[in-house]
Structure 1
């Protein structure tokens, strides 16, 4: 497993999810446009976001690699996009 790493550039930060991101995940996955484009539960609840986050963390701890990361793009205070990082299969 890779160590938990934060990657920073002038334009973005790539970091692991934290518990503080669960509400933002619920909000973004409950967005009408996101709901139209992705097969997500409707409505997307806080329990759904917590379950997804728990699965990402379990995958990360099981290795190899880190599966769930957040891409933060300034200047906003909230995370922008979840991305997956893991081994190529």
Structure 2
């Protein structure tokens, strides 16, 4: 035995290739996701792609009351006033 190689002693089952997960479809999956995102953006065009609009609110407790964060959503009255 020449060189400092590992002595092969793999205990494989007869059909071990069926259980090996490969990532050969990674670039194709990436492009599929990208195309799907673009199609969705075209389909819902006037609306924002990041989801519904959220109001800017202050945190409630003493620790966070100076910080701004995204709220849960607008009320029906607020939406009716804007239309």
Which TM-score applies when normalising by structure 2? Answer: 0.29
Give the number of the structure with larger relative contact order, counting CA–CA contacts within 8 Å between residues 6 or more apart: 1
Structure ID, larger Rg = 2
- If each structure's strand is expressed as a fraction of its own residues, which one has the higher value? 1
